[in-house]
């Protein structure tokens, strides 16, 4: 079998497996690369060279920058601004929502923007008495259009820009995409406003994302929590009358306005009632601060040397501190342990505020013996709360990082994240340094300035995307080097005949958009790009307009929910069915076709 035939076989097999969707796309991509090596089409170095491409590093760095904006609450702040300005007008709501997601997408990727805004859009729709199904599909479609506003909008734009350079033409500038991105966004919004009410279903969803933006208010309502300032931790000083007494026998001397909650030994759980109190133990009292001085003087108690900051802070949720609900699971080592409000973890970063059993608050005046199913409401630093996720003895109800993103707009590090983003955009727009260098510097700056940890940076990268691009790039190279791309290009050119480059662009659009409804738009782009470059060379025209048309077609993933993760994200919350997408999506696809075939050649001449 010739190398060309092998390339076609691998290509066909990859497409079939992508559509079949029974194997992870990463496995398919890596399998394609290894098959090309095993059949002798490529060397092993060529088969794995895709992971060393600057494009892969650029895309990975953009994921980190996106995480910086999301984790610091910048996207949450943008969503809240939308809620404030939308009012009750359906048209204004649709326009502002779609504009916001389009702008966010140009900076933080399609999936990131949609994931950040879906919960807020659902809550906004419910508050205004609207059906989420009238808003969520437009959000996903606007994100696809917004991905064309700048180079950072989608990895496909990065791949297309690199392909133009490899073909001997100049790369696309950062804002060159805006020339087609703006009309695409305007058209998508106009189509939605005019046709959306008739083409979108008016249906209630079976599953709605959790709204965590009002978590502090919800918790304050659901738990009988006194003001946190009424909880006081006092240390047993040398010579205290409490020393030598059992924890359950401490007498407050008739101070009825002050209640003893419990006694804790630093770095340990609470003392049993029969345990003997020692110097350095911490007594937790509940009462007004002005009453504490007399009690402390009578018992020989002094202010704790190292008061947990989470107790000193007021309010439940803030930039540095938050709350979390923890459930005691079966077989937990904490079953039987004694806890009480004001008790801290061994690190001192987390303090217990309340305990519930079967939905009822347990008395705060005495320690509680934990049982399966009990719920602890705790407060602490966001990092400390996040560490509870790895504790096998506790189950976290709401992931702290998700709570922080929704409930703390413009949180800690937001200004630094915005400055880093602005610097990266300037570097990319001016061409002061290669795009991959600008993006990597931005990602590094977010870590160095403390906006993200290295663990956050690693977690933010979509390894599916990285493996897909790195695995499919060798197939793209093989098609180009073996002549398979030229053969397909010959067939496409023969099909359009003497109709010229406009017909070529139209044919490539149909091919790309057709595949893009079934498989990843990145995989589609990597398959079609070498064909497009070869076809442009055969017609002796510039590859730049042809590649831009392919880029637009790859973004036109409107007809099915499986076309992109963003389409799938809105399916459940919007209550959509598979057949709902093509109705409005068909109109969007037609608009993208017009821009790709009519406007693109006017901006980038053949």
Domains, the chain: 65-212+411-460 (no CATH), 217-397 (3.30.70.1450)
Averaged pLDDT for residues 256-278: 77
pLDDT-derived band at 587 (thresholds 50, 70, 90) equals very high
Choice between 266 and 395, residue whose per-residue pLDDT is larger? 395
282 forms beta bridges with 235, 264
Q: Which helix (H) or strand (E) covers residue 568, if one does? A: helix 565-569
Q: How many other β-carbons are positioned within 10 Å of the β-carbon of residue 428?
A: 23
pLDDT in tens, 89-141: 778 888 988 998 898 888 767 876 777 677 777 777 776 777 888 888 999 99
CA 570, chain centre distance (Å):
14
| Mean confidence (pLDDT) of the chain | 82
Averaged pLDDT for residues 20-47: 87
pLDDT in tens, 384-411: 888 877 888 889 888 887 787 777 777 7
> Strands 282-286, 301-303: parallel, antiparallel or unpaired by DSSP?
unpaired
pLDDT at 67: 83
pLDDT-derived band at 194 (thresholds 50, 70, 90) equals very high
Quick check: pTM over 0.85? Answer: no
The CA distance from 266 to 347, in Å, is 9
pLDDT in tens, 474-509: 887 887 788 777 777 677 777 765 677 888 899 889
Is the pLDDT at 6 greater than 60? The verdict is yes
Averaged pLDDT for residues 262-278: 78
Is the pLDDT at 465 greater than 60? The verdict is yes
pLDDT at 592: 96
CA 407, chain centre distance (Å):
15
pLDDT-derived band at 208 (thresholds 50, 70, 90) equals low
> Strands 395-396, 321-327: parallel, antiparallel or unpaired by DSSP?
antiparallel
């Amino acid at each position: 079998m010739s190398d060309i035939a092998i390339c076609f076989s691998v290509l066909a097999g990859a497409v079939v497996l992508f559509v079949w969707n029974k194997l992870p796309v990463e496995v398919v991509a890596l399998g394609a690369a290894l098959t090309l090596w095993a059949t002798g089409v490529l060397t092993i170095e060529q088969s794995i060279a895709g992971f060393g491409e600057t494009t892969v590093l650029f895309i990975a760095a953009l994921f980190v920058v996106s995480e910086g904006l999301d984790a610091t609450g910048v996207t949450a702040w943008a969503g809240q601004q939308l809620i404030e300005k939308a009012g009750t007008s359906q048209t204004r709501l649709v326009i502002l929502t779609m504009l916001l997601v389009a702008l966010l997408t140009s900076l933080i990727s399609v999936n990131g923007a949609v994931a950040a805004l879906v919960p807020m859009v659902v809550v906004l729709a419910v508050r205004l008495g609207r059906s989420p199904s009238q808003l969520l599909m437009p959000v996903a479609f606007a994100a696809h259009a917004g991905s064309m506003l700048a180079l950072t909008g989608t990895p496909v734009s990065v791949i297309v820009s690199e392909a133009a350079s490899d073909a001997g033409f100049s790369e696309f500038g950062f804002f060159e995409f805006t020339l087609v991105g703006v009309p695409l966004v305007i058209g998508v919004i106009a189509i939605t406003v005019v046709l959306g009410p008739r083409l979108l279903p008016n249906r209630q969803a079976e599953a709605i994302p959790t709204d965590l933006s009002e978590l502090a208010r919800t918790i304050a309502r659901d738990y009988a929590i006194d003001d946190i300032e009424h909880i006081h931790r006092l240390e047993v000083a040398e010579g205290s009358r409490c020393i030598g007494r059992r924890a359950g026998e401490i007498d407050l001397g008739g101070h009825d306005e002050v209640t003893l909650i419990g006694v804790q030994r630093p770095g340990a759980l609470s003392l049993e009632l029969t345990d003997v109190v020692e110097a350095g133990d911490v007594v937790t009292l509940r009462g007004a601060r002005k009453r504490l001085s007399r009690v402390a003087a009578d018992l020989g108690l002094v202010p704790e040397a190292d008061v947990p900051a989470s107790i000193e802070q007021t309010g439940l949720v803030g930039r540095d501190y938050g709350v979390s609900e923890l459930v005691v699971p079966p077989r937990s080592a904490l079953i039987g342990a004694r806890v009480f409000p004001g008790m801290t973890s061994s690190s001192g970063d987390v303090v217990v505020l309340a305990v519930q059993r079967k939905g009822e608050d347990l008395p705060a005046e005495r320690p509680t013996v934990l049982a399966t199913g009990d719920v602890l409401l705790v407060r602490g630093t966001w990092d400390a709360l996040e560490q509870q996720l790895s504790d096998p003895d506790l189950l976290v109800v709401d992931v702290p990082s998700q709570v922080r993103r929704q409930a703390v707009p413009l949180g800690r590090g937001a200004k630094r994240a915005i400055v880093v983003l602005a610097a990266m955009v300037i570097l990319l727009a001016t061409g002061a340094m290669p795009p991959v260098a600008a993006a990597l510097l931005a990602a590094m700056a977010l870590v160095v300035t403390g906006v993200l940890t290295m663990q956050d940076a690693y977690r933010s990268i979509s390894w599916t995307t990285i493996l897909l691009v790195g695995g499919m790039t060798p197939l793209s190279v093989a098609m180009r080097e073996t002549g398979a791309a030229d053969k397909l290009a010959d067939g496409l050119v023969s099909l359009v005949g003497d109709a010229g480059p406009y017909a070529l662009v139209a044919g490539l659009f149909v091919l790309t958009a057709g595949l893009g409804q079934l498989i990843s738009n990145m995989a589609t782009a990597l398959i079609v790009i070498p064909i497009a470059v070869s076809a442009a060379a055969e017609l002796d025209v510039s590859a730049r307009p042809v590649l831009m048309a392919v880029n637009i077609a790859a973004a036109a993933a409107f007809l099915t929910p499986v076309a992109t993760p963003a389409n799938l994200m809105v399916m459940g919350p919007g209550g959509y069915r598979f057949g709902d997408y093509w109705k409005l999506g068909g109109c969007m696809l037609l608009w993208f076709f017009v821009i790709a075939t009519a406007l693109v050649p006017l901006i980038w001449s053949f």
